[in-house]
Amino acid sequence: MMLQQKPRLEIDAKYFPLIKKDEKVLKINAEGLYYRELNALLRQAICSEGLEKIEIHNVCGQRYIGTDLDTNSQIDIYGTPGNDLGAFMNGPKVVVHGNAQDGCGNTMNEGQIIVHGHAGDVTGHSMRGGKIFVRDYVGYRVGIHMKEYQNKIPQIVIGHTAGDFLAEYMAGGIMVILGLNLKEGEKCNAKFVGTGMHGGVIYERGEILAPVAGTKIMEVGKRDLKTIEGLVNEYCSHFGADSKEIMAGKFKKILPISKRPYEKLYSH
């Protein structure tokens, strides 16, 4: 028995009102569009049509945008994408002109997610590569289970502050918390920062975080400052902030004391 070939999804002018062939820019109107249909159209535009720049307008809670895409395309999102934006992503640059909901960059492998607003809970969950830049604040359990994979080092830069359980069970990677929304002497009210942390590093601008037992706060060295400056420069290039003003603040780093924090709990 011969298998029937799945018909190719046709590009409908309703969803693609404008195509600029010279610039390879495709604009999708996502208003009222179900998330599965939107993602099918997006995948065809990138994987089948080979378009390098996509704009999605009127996004309102559609999930899984950019999931599992293996490409160098740029996706600009206007609106508020739903959960798991860029999950398992492997290369694209996703720019959100608004806020992002929970699970942004879930198990992300490569690429960039840039959020011109705030991002929800579990941003960067288990990410093992790539970069996430959030202009404002993030929710709870951001960077949970972050880990380095082969030569990949995941990196998250947060412009404002974060919720509880920041970097919970963090096993690798780099997280930078700038606290740009805080007044002088004010601290982030996040609790249980670094719970179960056994790898990676958190850089904080000032003394704004209260890490838990099992972690230690240390002064940064020249190598640390070079890493921080590079990420701050990228943050400022995305959001128009003043890198010199940010770098004028004092940075410290939070590290795990042990690579096996639960060794005594589960062994005899």
Check residue 1 and give its pLDDT: 40
Strands (E), the chain: 18-20, 25-29, 53-60, 74-80, 90-97, 110-115, 131-134, 155-158, 171-177, 199-205, 215-219, 251-256
Q: Provide the greatest CA pair distance for the chain.
A: 73
Considering only 4-8, 91-95, 194-198, 244-248, which range has the smallest mean pLDDT? 4-8
pLDDT confidence band for 264 (50 / 70 / 90): low
The full set of domains in the chain, from first to last, is 18-266 (2.160.20.60)
Check residue 175 and give its pLDDT: 98
Report the DSSP pairing between strands 25-29 and 251-256.
Answer: unpaired
Q: How far, in Å, CA of 138 to CA of 187, rounded?
A: 15
pLDDT confidence band for 3 (50 / 70 / 90): very low
In tens, the pLDDT along 161-181 reads: 999 999 999 999 999 999 999
Helix, coil or strand: residue 46: helix
- What stretches of the chain show up as alpha helix (H) in DSSP? 35-43, 222-239, 243-247, 263-266
Considering only 45-49, 55-59, 221-225, which range has the smallest mean pLDDT? 45-49
Check residue 89 and give its pLDDT: 94
Report the DSSP pairing between strands 25-29 and 18-20.
Answer: antiparallel
In tens, the pLDDT along 96-142 reads: 999 999 999 999 999 999 999 999 999 999 999 999 999 999 999 99
Which pair of tokens denotes residue 83? 């959960």
Considering only 41-45, 114-118, 195-199, which range has the smallest mean pLDDT? 41-45
Helix, coil or strand: residue 25: strand
